[in-house]
Structure 1
Amino acid sequence: MSRLPLTGTTGTFTWRMLASVLGGQGLVILLGALVARATALAEGADNAQTLLWLGVALGVFAFVTAGLMRSPIGLPLGWLVQVLTWASAVVVPAMIGVGLVFTGLWVLCLVKGQQVDAMMAARESDAEAAR
């Protein structure tokens, strides 16, 4: 197995899979933002609105990053979304579970996506040679 890339472009299948992961992750992050706000309000904290908007910003960032997965900047931004999701566990401890699930999916899609892209390239090469 090759090492996980942190930068650069990915194949078509890979970026589609990674964008799907980020889309789902963005939805869950938005729900986590609501939990952060509700928890802060229940505790009487003054920063409930700030936590909500930070969570919304992270969720929107995940959606924007999903749209940028075709470009060279998409992969590093995707890794940043993973790191920030883990960091959000400081506010909402349940985000550890979200981080585990979505970082696992991110790595799985990155590894398997590269394998599928390589198989598709080999198949296209064989088809081209047969012509």
Structure 2
Amino acid sequence: MKSLVLYGVPRRLTRRLLATVIGSEACIVLFGGLVAMALDKSGGGNGTTWLIAGSVLAVLCIVAAGVLRRPWGVTLGWLIHLATLAAALVVPMMIWVFLIFGGLWVVSMVQGAKIDDLSDEAQRRYDAEHGVPDGA
């Protein structure tokens, strides 16, 4: 699976797909923070810590969606998924968030790379058929 990368800049469509996945995850992670806050309040705590942690993770999701053009942007996305998995220790249903969005992340990376390859090949064929010089 050469298209599964931990560090590097994905191509155009792959970046868009990954940004959509991680950006959507931000909403769910924020809701997870609200659930953790409510669970902590029902247990006698004030829950503020969990709300802040969920908010920080949601902001990191948005940041990761924006920095996918940087080589470390994909790495940040992977780390966010691991943090979502760790959140399952507080809110067990977050395991589903990890599985669903982690799966979408992997599928977006693999299928996005395939579509980018097909798009590049189609562009090369078009250029060859219409006499466009290389690099133009």
- Which deviations, in whole Å up to 9, do the C-alpha atoms of 1:13-54 show, x marking residues without a partner? 0000000001110000000000000000001125x1011101
Q: TM-score, normalised by structure 1?
A: 0.95
Equivalence for 1:118: 117
Unaligned 5+ runs, structure 2: 132-136
Does the C-alpha gap of structure 1 residues 3 and 20 become closer, same or farther in structure 2, counting only changes over 3 Å? closer
Q: Give 3-state SS (helix, strand or coil) of 2:88's partner.
A: helix
Equivalence for 1:81: 80
Unaligned 5+ runs, structure 1: none
Matched residues in 1 for 2:3 and 2:16: separation? 20
Equivalence for 1:38: 38
Equivalence for 2:25: 25
User: 1:127, CA displacement in angstroms?
Assistant: 1.2
Q: Give 3-state SS (helix, strand or coil) of 1:72's partner.
A: coil
Q: Which amino acid letter does the alignment assign opposite residue 5 of structure 1?
A: V
Q: Which runs of 4+ in 1 moved over 2 A?
A: none
- Which deviations, in whole Å up to 9, do the C-alpha atoms of 1:41-86 show, x marking residues without a partner? 001125x101110110001100110011122121111111111110
Q: TM-score, normalised by structure 2?
A: 0.92
Matched residues in 1 for 2:2 and 2:63: separation? 28
More helix by share: 1
RMSD of aligned Cα (Å): 1.0
Identical-residue share of aligned pairs (%): 39
Equivalence for 2:8: 8
Matched residues in 2 for 1:89 and 1:45: separation? 19
Equivalence for 1:129: 128
User: 1:129, CA displacement in angstroms?
Assistant: 1.4
Equivalence for 1:52: 51
